[in-house]
Amino acid sequence: MALLGSMNFAALTLCVLVLAAHNYQAQASSRVIFGKKNFKSFVNYNSSVNGLCATSVIIRGYKCQEFEVTTPDGYILSIQRIPEGRYGVGSNVTKKEPVLIQHGVLVDGTTWFLNNPEQNLPMILADEGFDVWISNTRGTQYSRKHTTLDSSSQEYWNWSWDELVTDEMPAIVDFVYNQSGQQKINYVGHSLGTLVALASFSKGILVDQLKSAVLLSPIAYLSHMTTELGVVAAKSMLGETLTLMHMAEFDPKGVPVVDFMKGICAQTGIDCNHLFSSITGENCCLDTSAFDLFMNFEPQSSSTKNLFHLAQTVRSGVLTKFDYERPDANFKHYRQVTPPIYNLSNIPNNLPIFMSYGGRDALSDVIDVNNLLEHFKYHDEDKLSLQFIDNYAHADFIMAVNANDLVYKNVTSFFKRQF
Ligand SMILES: *[C@@H]1O[C@H](CO)[C@@H](O)[C@H](O)[C@H]1NC(C)=O
Ligand SMILES: *[C@@H]1O[C@H](CO)[C@@H](O)[C@H](O)[C@H]1NC(C)=O
Ligand SMILES: *[C@@H]1O[C@H](CO)[C@@H](O)[C@H](O)[C@H]1NC(C)=O
Ligand SMILES: *[C@@H]1O[C@H](CO)[C@@H](O)[C@H](O)[C@H]1NC(C)=O
Ligand SMILES: *[C@@H]1O[C@H](CO)[C@@H](O)[C@H](O)[C@H]1NC(C)=O
Ligand SMILES: *[C@@H]1O[C@H](CO)[C@@H](O)[C@H](O)[C@H]1NC(C)=O
């Protein structure tokens, strides 16, 4: 039963993304029939236009620069910079504060640009005079290069979020820190972007180069996201574990994953048309065109090992490094028979943190957030801001049409308080 629970996260994430992708295909064909007249094009669909700047930023009147960052383990990541606001707004600010924005699992940086410039976080921050940086995790569409490995090889996908903590985020933060004249960085993470930050902070990683951190839909503990659907999907996934294990790249749009999910829907009679909300929670305020764009540009690949690592967190309720599931295998990697823990109580008490979480978030459950907050009991009172939004679910924090009013205005003023 414990093992069953462990598969919930992977299974859940899977369900939502895979089936959502399916629905998109259905919608796409109906759109051909009904035309595109209501479709707002904030993003350029031209498939020969490459890079996040070209698809999502420049077409809306913002400057944007593409960079590449190579991690110590050889991954070549694409990251983007929006140096100033629209039509040069804020270009006269002499010392611009850098902000680094990190997306969650199975999506990429495109996810921040699905709404119009008045509604999406990077552009709002650029218009407020910040120097905005967007990172894209290894394995996503613009970050699939490596110094020696091909993304079709198994070795390329041999990583979990441990490597994002030890190799990837430090390389990105170093790069942004240098590029912005060694100024401390304000960090924004959503979902997995919060877990990587929290785990890093607990090890003293990144903290010297960050000025503050905003954590949207924080995930660290995942034990309470238990839905009937999750249990059913988990049960089915257990039988498939071996097959999935061999699939080093976890491509939510790929045939093996899609077939597996179709099977679950057929067997259980679960209404797979509403999976996006059964998984992320009942999002209050998504624009349908943003949702369409999401289905076109996301979901993105991750590694199977990364999803297993997340699933282990669901099972144990304790945050540890990847568990190789056998004492000897753990010993080989860690010189101890159980994986080392990330003790979140070690996060420096004086690090300015702003957390925003939602009452309807099925992934970042309120009980789990409260468990996380137990570690902040001794945090300096004036360094911790908490915001709870009753009717928000997981995707609202990045895509809700009113996220600016409810969340981003607070984020901006939080950053400005750190000046
Ligand atoms: C797509 O972009 C390419 C390169 O910029 C351009 O040559 C081509 O005309 C574009 N196609 C469409 C349909 O806009
Ligand atoms: C920059 O220009 C805007 C409008 O042109 C002005 O409101 C603002 O005060 C200026 N900021 C600085 C730092 O000069
Ligand atoms: C995967 O990485 C681990 C270390 O993180 C290493 O021990 C193992 O041999 C690697 N496996 C493959 C197939 O490359
Ligand atoms: C940042 O600058 C330091 C000092 O000049 C240098 O050692 C380091 O390699 C640079 N890092 C990056 C990622 O550019
Ligand atoms: C985590 O750290 C806190 C404070 O340093 C300590 O009291 C607690 O025992 C540690 N937890 C574990 C599981 O090691
Ligand atoms: C968010 O902003 C509102 C309106 O300015 C304010 O009342 C509230 O205290 C802020 N919340 C946080 C956590 O900063």
- Tell me: the pLDDT tens digits for 15-47? 444 433 333 333 333 232 222 333 344 555 555
Query: What is the pLDDT at residue 307?
Result: 80
* pLDDT value of position 106: 83
How far apart are the C-alpha atoms of 353 and 381, rounded to whole Å?
10
309 in catalytic set? no
d(CA 362, CA 17): 14
Query: Is pTM, for the whole model, over 0.75?
Result: yes
133-158 as b/e: b if 16+ CB within 10 A: bbbbbbbbbbbbbbeebeeeeeebbe
92 CA from centroid of ligand 2 (Å): 6
Predicted local confidence at residue 285, as pLDDT: 81
Indicate the number of domains in the chain.
1
Which atom of ligand 2 sits closest to the CA of residue 92? 1
Is 152 a catalytic site residue? no
Question: Which region among 134-138, 231-235, 258-262, 285-289 has the lowest average model confidence (pLDDT)?
Answer: 231-235
pLDDT tens readout for residues 351-406 = 999 999 998 887 777 888 888 999 999 999 999 999 999 999 888 999 899 999 99
State what percent of residues in the chain have pLDDT above 70.
74
Q: Is the shortest distance between the CB of 89 and ligand 2 below 6 Å?
A: no
253 has pLDDT over 80: no
pLDDT at res. 48? 59
What pLDDT, on a 0 to 100 scale, did the predictor assign at position 1?
A: 28
Q: Which residue type, as a one-letter code, is found at position 46?
A: N
Tell me the pLDDT band of 194, cut-offs 50, 70 and 90.
very high
What rounded mean pLDDT belongs to the chain? 81
**Residue 276 belongs to domain spanning:** 9-417
Q: Say what the pLDDT of residue 271 is.
A: 57
Residue 144 lies in a domain: yes
The lowest-confidence range among 112-116, 243-247, 365-369 is 243-247
Residue 361 is among the residues annotated as catalytic for this protein: yes
For residue 344, what is the domain's CATH number?
Answer: 3.40.50.1820
pLDDT interval class at 270 (50, 70, 90): low
Ligand 2 within 6 A of 93 CB?
Answer: yes
Which pLDDT does position 27 carry in this prediction?
Answer: 37
Residue 341 Cβ contacting ligand 1 at under 6 Å: no
Q: Pull the structure tokens for residue 257.
A: 């994953």
pLDDT(308) > 70: yes
Q: What is the structure's pLDDT at 297?
A: 67
| pLDDT for position 272 | 58
Mean per-residue pLDDT, 2-22? 40
Lowest pLDDT segment from 1-10, 75-84, 129-138, 151-160: 1-10
Beta carbon of 174 within 6 Å of any ligand 4 atom: yes
Structure tokens at 117: 């410039």
pLDDT at residue 265, as a whole number: 64
The verdict on residue 3 lying in a domain is no
